[in-house]
Amino acid sequence: MNMVSGKLTGHHALVTGAGSGIGAAIARSLVEAGASVTLAGRRSEPLQALSAELGADQTSVVSGFDVTDTAAIETGLKQAREKFGPVTILVNNAGEGPSAPFEKTSLDLWNRVIAVDLTSVFQVTQAVLPDLKTHGSGARIINIASTAGLTGYAYVSAYVAAKHGVVGLTRALALELAKTGVTVNAVCPGFTDTPLIARSVETIVEKTGRSQQDALKEFTKHNPQGRLVQPEEVADTVLWLASPATQSINGQAIAVAGGEVLAG
């Protein structure tokens, strides 16, 4: 049984990018803990499949939820509220991380990554904030950043810049909302066993002819434990931050990375 099973009963959590990987794992954990969860994302099929797995009574599907489109965000939130009422837990998980050398990073690629990974957090949070402030104590904003928001990686400059921005926004908003009862924190996973990493491994294999095992080492080498983080480990951290016991945890960027990033 989940360590906070039932403790989120009465909460309405909105999870962006919920269709697969970390987002799906977070949704599963929140449902197990008793929350009603809106599964938000662009593609309907994976969201519907996850809803069927978790149960239609406790989940709502909002597809076409483009986190870069203000109108799509407002439409999605209206749908979410119609079933479960105001949002009390927001998990900003949607994102992407294309790679390119800095000199070959076009302005279009830069703008796209900043829009999807950083500006979206601003837009979705601003749209949901009235719900959260009305709820007050116990309301949560949890941003899925990355160890890239705490350190640097080569060949993903736009992603690193965006995730640093997410961490900075988290800290600023945590201070602004401190007296409202709404807490704001970031979770910063290292390289995680998700479809995104699987595709990256396949790309390395195709471009270099290296074996899958050798290609995977490009990602596991960053973790002192020599492995990929599991999505469920990230979800457990989100679940802890969402629980009633963490009211004093605010403005933090918590690395889930096997010791890759150590606090100074």
Q: What is the tally of structural domains in the chain?
A: 2
Which whole-number Å values give the CA distances from 161 to 7, 152, 155, 208, 211, in the listed order?
36, 9, 12, 27, 31
Model-level pTM?
0.94
pLDDT tens-digit readout, 134-177:
999 999 999 999 999 999 999 999 999 999 999 999 999 999 99
pLDDT score of 1 = 38
pLDDT score of 98 = 87
pLDDT score of 4 = 52
Of the two residues 99 and 55, the one the predictor is more confident about is 55
pLDDT score of 203 = 83
Do 85 and 163 belong to one domain? yes
Q: Mean pLDDT over all residues of the chain?
A: 94
Q: What is the mean pLDDT of residues 65-69?
A: 97
Do 210 and 249 belong to one domain? no
Do 47 and 176 belong to one domain? yes
Do 110 and 209 belong to one domain? no
Residue 2 domain flag = no
Residue 6 domain flag = no
Residue 76 domain flag = yes
Do 87 and 201 belong to one domain? no
Do 220 and 168 belong to one domain? no
Catalytic residue among 65, 84, 159, 191: 159
pLDDT score of 201 = 84
225, two tokens: 């434990």
Q: What is the mean pLDDT of residues 56-77?
A: 97
Do 91 and 198 belong to one domain? no
Residue 199 domain flag = yes
**DSSP 8-state code for residue 245:** G
Which whole-number Å values give the CA distances from 178 to 133, 158, 219, in the listed order?
11, 30, 37
Do 26 and 73 belong to one domain? yes
Residues in the chain: 264
Do 198 and 112 belong to one domain? no
Do 187 and 132 belong to one domain? yes
Residue 7 domain flag = no
Do 110 and 147 belong to one domain? yes
Residue 5 domain flag = no
Q: In the annotation, is 159 catalytic?
A: yes
Rounded Cα distance, 260 and 220, in Å: 10
Range of the domain at 209: 193-228
Residue 167 domain flag = yes
31, two tokens: 């449902």
Do 130 and 205 belong to one domain? no
Q: What is the mean pLDDT of residues 38-60?
A: 97
